[in-house]
Structure 1
């Protein structure tokens, strides 16, 4: 049988996920993996240097598919940051649920230590970049170094929240993972309430007013 010539990245991901779920472990070698799926080993290396790199790309593909779906929605384009993030969560977890067997296999044994899990490295980079460009309102600190610290803290806390939600979803046994949907709604609302700058801005403005009044009275 002639070997397949037109092998795409999505083909490799599909072959790999199918192999892992069928055998409950990764392929022993790229050569064996290519032979099992009837393509030249060289085709694998056109996309990936190792199985580990392929594994990282799978979660990045879940992210990319989520963004692609959201960008097709006119409603999403008009949403504020909170509702955009909610939409992201619901769509992203739909993607995870569609591939739950593989995701559980990849993460289950590490679900209590996912923060440093290499397989999520590409996902973290893409997600924190998404958060950075979501236009979430933060304090105007008027100082570049403080602004950088604030933005870094926002991205890291958003990433931690996503990991916590993924762990909750892994443990969720409710029908259609409805408890995860509730968790998403409440956690995103709580996180935005915590970074709501309006009350703090009012306090700062009031403090400035008192300071100015004191200066004038002196």
Structure 2
């Protein structure tokens, strides 16, 4: 009796793709070539991904999702303030990247145009920005509601830029156990939260409102 063929999962396809990229040093030419060489069907591939590019984006999103899963299993993490949550995210995320360093380095250097290589990080970008919004606390929000939405977008974008700079630092880091990256993470996150201190800005806004009212009423 012929053995029943094992159903291929999303995780199986991701694993097969990463292994092929590492072994061959290049991306598959097409979905057709990829599935044919790995003994599953296009239908099975398209059940989870629309394109190879979509698969590449999903790999980096999974790195992020695994990070969040690990963080949420730590009861202490749930009690952290925003800065310590961000530090925990960074250290956990880069542990996962380090465990997959060969693939990450390979995938980020395929195209001579670095912007094309970064396209695969777009899904990671969206997930990370949502995460930043979720952990943003009132300590770092302006008191003026009309400015909060603008401020939140600015924090999300600056946090993403910081993550990209850290990935670049980690890619170039040649220190043992990437200890320089750990130092960079701690110093850069600490610095960014110092810059996010909104107390002085709130005082400036209050002063501006006061001066504006004084100027208006003085003319009456």
Q: TM-score range by the shorter chain?
A: 0.7 to 0.9
Partner of 2:66: 65
Residue 116 to residue 98, structure 1, CA distance change in 2 (3 Å) = closer
1:36 CA displacement? 2.2
Bigger shift: 133-142 or 123-132? 133-142
**Structure 1 stretches lacking a partner, 5+ long:** none
Is the Cα–Cα contact under 8 Å of residues 108 and 170 in structure 1 kept in the other structure? no
Partner of 1:74: 75
Q: Is 1:167 paired with 2:141?
A: no
Partner of 1:142: 145
Write out the 4+ residue segments of structure 1 that deviate beyond 3 Å after TM superposition: 1-5, 108-116, 199-215
State the superposition RMSD in angstroms. Answer: 2.7
1:130 CA displacement? 0.3
Q: Is 1:9 paired with 2:19?
A: no
Instruction: Tell me how far apart the structure 1 counterparts of residues 169 and 133 of structure 2 sit (CA, whole Å).
Output: 24
TM-score normalised by structure 2 residue count: 0.87
**Structure 2 stretches lacking a partner, 5+ long:** none
Is the Cα–Cα contact under 8 Å of residues 68 and 89 in structure 2 kept in the other structure? yes
Partner of 1:102: 103
Residue 163 to residue 3, structure 1, CA distance change in 2 (3 Å) = farther
Is the Cα–Cα contact under 8 Å of residues 26 and 110 in structure 2 kept in the other structure? no
Is the Cα–Cα contact under 8 Å of residues 166 and 181 in structure 2 kept in the other structure? yes
Instruction: Tell me how far apart the structure 2 counterparts of residues 110 and 158 of structure 1 sit (CA, whole Å).
Output: 25
For 1:1-218, what aligned pairs fall within 5 Å after superposition?
4-108=5-109, 113=114, 117-136=118-137, 137-143=140-146, 146-202=147-203
